[in-house]
């Protein structure tokens, strides 16, 4: 008998932090902006969120070209 894994039937919502929600009016989305919308996202029926990279990056590849896995990019800091 085959059983589906949770992620095979889940609703997963991807967030690109820079453009999702700006909490401090600097024109760039940030982590506080994401957390301020978690209840709304949950009410949509979302089971999990996928947050695009927030680590330091030269931004040649929308943040996937991480230059430092131990440091959050300055615009994302809480």
* This prediction's pTM: 0.76
**Burial bucket for residue 56 (CB in 10 Å: 0-12, 13-18, 19+):** middle
How high is the pLDDT of residue 33? Answer: 94
Q: What is the dihedral of CA 20, 26, 27, 33, to 10 degrees?
A: 10
Sign of CA dihedral 28, 31, 37, 38: positive
Task: Identify the DSSP state of 5.
Answer: -
Q: What is the mean pLDDT of each run of 10 residues along the chain (78 residues)?
A: 87 94 92 95 98 85 83 66
> Where exactly are the structural domains of the chain?
9-76
């Amino acid at each position: 008998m085959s059983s589906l894994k949770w992620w095979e039937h889940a609703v997963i919502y991807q967030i690109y932090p820079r453009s999702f929600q700006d909490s401090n009016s600097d024109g760039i989305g940030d982590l506080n902006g994401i957390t301020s919308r978690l209840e709304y996202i949950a009410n949509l029926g979302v089971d999990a969120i996928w947050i695009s990279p927030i680590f330091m990056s030269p931004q040649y590849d929308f943040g996937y070209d991480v230059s430092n896995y131990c440091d959050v990019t300055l615009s994302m800091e809480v």
